[in-house]
Chains A and B, each alone.
Chain A
């Protein structure tokens, strides 16, 4: 895929989201003229983009939706759910095309699914026609519709014969223009047909042929016309830049002319690249070379032509524009202040920052060595180390900040999802989204959609009662689903709540027993909250029947493991008949990890601090044996203890039970476990490097980092280690 298409893909995706979001809001408040303007603009820009990359199919699909919205703006149509649905359908189609583009790197050529062209039937006959003749779509250059004059036979015309001999005809449909009259009223000499067809010949050629016949003809070019006639959308600011370059070129002074030409050419080309018009940028670069070589006015002409050819997003209905429609220039300025950077480049920066931190630690180590040797430069080294530490920690924060995305990008997909779910299940629901500006690391934000979708599905499918049941219970008929995000320290909290039926604890007990998730003995000793937590256990699913929405074999256990994989936690709370809340607690950044170092078997290990509950020192009397295992009783809980070096097959275990022991208590999925270590170390913030190559996937090791003295610190994955 070339840069041009890549840019188009990114922008189109954003616009589709923006339009979808706007449409859903419009459905709720159809009188919001400003919102309608925003949605209209999004469609318009999408269409413009499709025109620039010569993606005629997408242009047409959007054109239809755009006309609908235009009618809504001018008041010719009412903005009803059907209209919104039609526009959403066309956006769906566009999304599918964008998917194809992303996967194949090429613009899709076949319409494929004609039924999905949505409003095509009523709005745009060309889309429908292409849909019925998928085989012809690739070659078709022109679509035509010809309605011969009813009296054309008297002029000696034979429309079918003429039209069926049109050059490079790919498809032809013959239909009655009006329903056929009964036999006794039938006049064979009144022409009553419509001819619709596709051809690979040019629109101008077909037009010329049809014009020689009497009747009404409509001819549409399916492939965008040549670049010179395609409207180019140039933001105002770029337009000004181009005008400046003209002024520079107009300076009548021989001295420094080549420099002026080179500089103006470069600036103009960059300006075109800025608005994603790479092809035009190349044209300008060529013109610059020409101007330099021949001292001609090629560059001046090229820039002037661009300024003439360009149109700044024409507004088709200025009269219907709501006040406050001045958002467009504002947006342009905003986009100039943000840069699109490849995520890989940012990751490279994160890695480098990590290396830098390691180098900094080495300086600290050297300073300590120098001090213990009584070296005179020790103080100086320490000072520099202090400055480095401060700068590098600022750098780390800045770099991590770059990987941060607002949760909006995930949350904004839910209004649409919920709209469909509640329609499918016939359960009216309303979605409330709070804190969508909360930010989290890209990795976290990107992994969130699936788990959240599962929870929301469960909420609508199993949690929310039918409208009748809700009324009978005195609840509002429309159920509420709340999606809320907030930041708490270095954690991001996300809650999905519903005001549905809640979880029936007794049923959970019964199901858990039936499916062997927990034994009767265990269940007796469990508090209600612990029982509810069993829904996350593998093999648990309370759905009475598998519906289309939930029960696709992805259980709540998959949700929990997905969240734990990124170092998060998920919990559930529920009250019968009052609703259920699922809470996610996720790390803000996956790059920085706080670890506690421990020594075991003569080796240093890091334990992620978020799994550590506390460190206790116990005497040998505190140990007792349960079977082969050793346990301690701490705060009235029996905690199994394992020797860390034993688990890791490090040096053979000394008979440490003879002396006092240091136990690090860690929490794993709500269970406490004691890790017997030789010595606790310090707490440090590290950039964790996952294992790669041969070692990748080693169970029990989350990753490594390099310590100041050059040693490698293995960071343990406690959950993986105990499995």
Chain B
């Protein structure tokens, strides 16, 4: 399980496969105000990133800078 929901919000860890997209979507549907912790997420499948892009949850911890997040992170920043 790489999507971990807790009282503090949702954390993604390690490499998130495409199946995580469904799980993440359900968590966000049940608690729309949930925050996301990407601090320990190495990489995520495009499907997972799509969910993050579409719902723009508030990022509690930003992902580390690697060849993927370098490009994806700017897209996830909320507008405000």
Contact = CB atoms under 8 A, between A and B. Distances in A.
Contact of B18 (A153, A184, A197): A153
A159 interface: yes
Interface in A156-198: 157-161, 164-165, 169, 172-176, 180-181, 183-184, 186, 188-189, 191-193, 197
Contacts of A183: 28-29, 32, 55
Nearest to B48: A188
Interface in B48-73: 48-51, 53-55, 67-68, 70-72
A13 to B, nearest CB: 40
B78 interface: no
Contacts of B47: 153, 188-189, 191
Interface in B8-37: 18, 21-22, 24-25, 28-29, 32
B57 to A, nearest CB: 12
A477 B1 CA distance: 75
Most A CB contacts (10 A, CB to CB) among B22, B32, B50 go to B50
A19 B45 CA distance: 50
B53 A180 contact: yes
Given A172-B71, A174-B72, A186-B25, A158 B50 contact: no
B46 A176 contact: no
A183 to B, nearest CB: 6
A158 B72 CA distance: 13
B53 A158 contact: no
Contact of A164 (B25, B28, B51, B68): B68
Contact of A161 (B25, B50, B68): B68
A183 B27 CA distance: 12
B69 to A, nearest CB: 9
Contact of B72 (A157, A164, A180): A164
Interface magnitude class on chain B: 20 to 34
A174 B45 contact: no
A174 B49 contact: yes
A293 to B, nearest CB: 54
A197 B68 CA distance: 13
A180 B28 CA distance: 15
Contacts of A181: 54
Given A176-B53, A183-B29, A165 B67 contact: yes
A160 B46 contact: yes
A160 B49 contact: yes
Nearest to B26: A188
A197 B70 CA distance: 13
B22 A188 contact: yes
Contacts of A160: 45-46, 49, 68, 71-72
Contacts of A176: 53-54
A161 B54 contact: no
A174 B52 CA distance: 12
Interface in A89-107: none
Interface of A: 148, 153, 157-161, 164-165, 169, 172-176, 180-181, 183-184, 186, 188-189, 191-193, 197
23 contacts: A158-B18, A158-B46, A159-B46, A160-B71, A161-B43, A161-B68, A164-B68, A164-B70, A165-B67, A173-B71, A174-B49, A174-B72, A176-B54, A180-B54, A186-B25, A188-B21, A188-B24, A188-B50, A189-B22, A189-B47, A193-B46, A193-B50, A193-B53
Given A174-B49, A174-B75, 20 more contacts: A148-B46, A157-B46, A160-B45, A160-B46, A160-B71, A161-B46, A164-B70, A165-B67, A165-B68, A176-B53, A176-B54, A183-B29, A184-B29, A188-B47, A188-B51, A189-B18, A189-B21, A189-B22, A191-B46, A193-B50
